[in-house]
Chain A
Amino acid sequence: MSVLWEGFLQGLKGLWTIALIVIPLMIVLEVAESNGLLQKLNRLMARPFKIIGLGEEGAFPVVIAGVFGITYGSGVIINHVRTGKVTRKEARVVGTFMSIAHALIEDTIIFWVLGAPLLLLVAPRLILAYVMSYLVYRLTPELDSPDGDNIDTTD
């Protein structure tokens, strides 16, 4: 019993540490979003994304995923593919980028709280995401014909 109790307390202590950061962070994010900072970030990123073959429509899901997480980014990209705003190849480049670098704020905070250095938590993900996406962009042939990817556009 004492082992379970000890683990429980350990967990609660950790949870408290995280809550002290997560709640203020969510307030800051909400304020930033309400003030249109996300669109500004998107504009700022336009040039570097051009290099890996992403136009504004392709860059948007990457920015969304980077800030809010892969689920949100995927939601946007699925919708973009369905409405023809991005090509399948672009979707592949976006998918590569956001699978490596997403939820950069939340994921970073978790380990930052535990003592890992901020720069090491963010920079390698962004750099490798960029490099891998560039490789995919250069090496993937155009994917216009359905090739068994079965992009599910029903939800």
Chain B
Amino acid sequence: MFEVTGKMVWKGTKTGLHTTWELAKVVVPTAIVVAVFRASGILDIITAFFAPYMGLFGLSGEAAIVLFSGYFVNLYAAAGSIMALSLTLKEITICAVMLGFCHSLLVELPISQKAGSPMGYIFLVRLGCSLAMGWLLGVVLP
């Protein structure tokens, strides 16, 4: 009934390798950019600027980098930023949940529009869910 063939395994491996390559193109450059930000002091400026707003979600100022790279680029960029920063597990969790709702907007909003839902409406729904859950988790998580 349930069968596993070499062909399936090969096809899966190919997809996996392809995905990994796509990731490499985003994760590695993001990690480099964040490392440069950190060394040059730009990170500190961004962190200080966003700290009060990020506090709403139980996040430190640094997490703004993660949220922005996720919202505007994609989740792999966000993952790259997380790896290059030193966030607590609580912060990683909150960022992850917030970004689950709202990410890759530049690519995905036009896709939603094509599929018959207005961009502005989808944007509000996704950002709303993201901010609401972020706030909730910031309050609830220990």
A binds B: yes
List the interface of chain A (C-beta within 8 A of B): 3-4, 6-8, 10-15, 18-19, 22-31, 34-35, 70-71, 73-74, 77-78, 81, 88, 91-92, 94-96, 98-100, 106-108, 110-111, 113-117, 120-121, 124-125, 128, 132, 149, 151-152
Assuming the contacts A110-B75, A128-B133, asked whether A7 and B15 have C-beta atoms less than 8 A apart, the reply is no
- Can you list 16 A-B pairs with a CB-CB distance of less than 8 A? A3-B39, A4-B32, A7-B31, A7-B33, A7-B36, A23-B12, A23-B13, A27-B9, A77-B115, A78-B116, A91-B115, A116-B89, A121-B96, A124-B100, A124-B101, A151-B114
- Identify 19 new A-B residue pairs, CB closer than 8 A, beyond the known A10-B31, A10-B83: A11-B27, A15-B20, A15-B23, A18-B76, A19-B16, A30-B15, A31-B12, A34-B5, A98-B115, A99-B125, A110-B75, A111-B75, A111-B93, A111-B96, A116-B92, A124-B100, A132-B129, A151-B114, A151-B115
- Contact check, A110 vs B76: say whether CB atoms are below 8 A apart: yes
Complex contacts, A22 vs chain B, CB 8 Å = 16, 19-20, 23
- Contact check, B28 vs A8: say whether CB atoms are below 8 A apart: yes
Say what secondary structure dominates the interface of chain B.
Answer: helix
Cβ 8 A contact of B20, one of A18, A71, A98: A18
Tell whether B30 is near chain A: CB-to-CB under 8 Å: yes
Cβ 8 A contact of A111, one of B16, B19, B100, B125: B100
**In chain B, what residue has the closest Cβ to A81?**
B116
- Contact check, B23 vs A116: say whether CB atoms are below 8 A apart: no
Assuming the contacts A31-B12, A74-B115, asked whether A121 and B100 have C-beta atoms less than 8 A apart, the reply is yes
Alpha-carbon distance A23/B100, docked complex (angstroms): 21
List the interface of chain B (C-beta within 8 A of A): 2-5, 8-9, 11-13, 15-17, 19-20, 23-24, 27-36, 38-39, 75-76, 79-80, 82-84, 89, 92-93, 96-97, 99-101, 103, 108, 111-112, 114-118, 122, 125-126, 129, 133, 137
- Contact check, B96 vs A8: say whether CB atoms are below 8 A apart: no
Complex contacts, B31 vs chain A, CB 8 Å = 7-8, 10-11, 14
3 closest A-B pairs by CB: A7-B35, A95-B117, A11-B31
Alpha-carbon distance A4/B125, docked complex (angstroms): 38
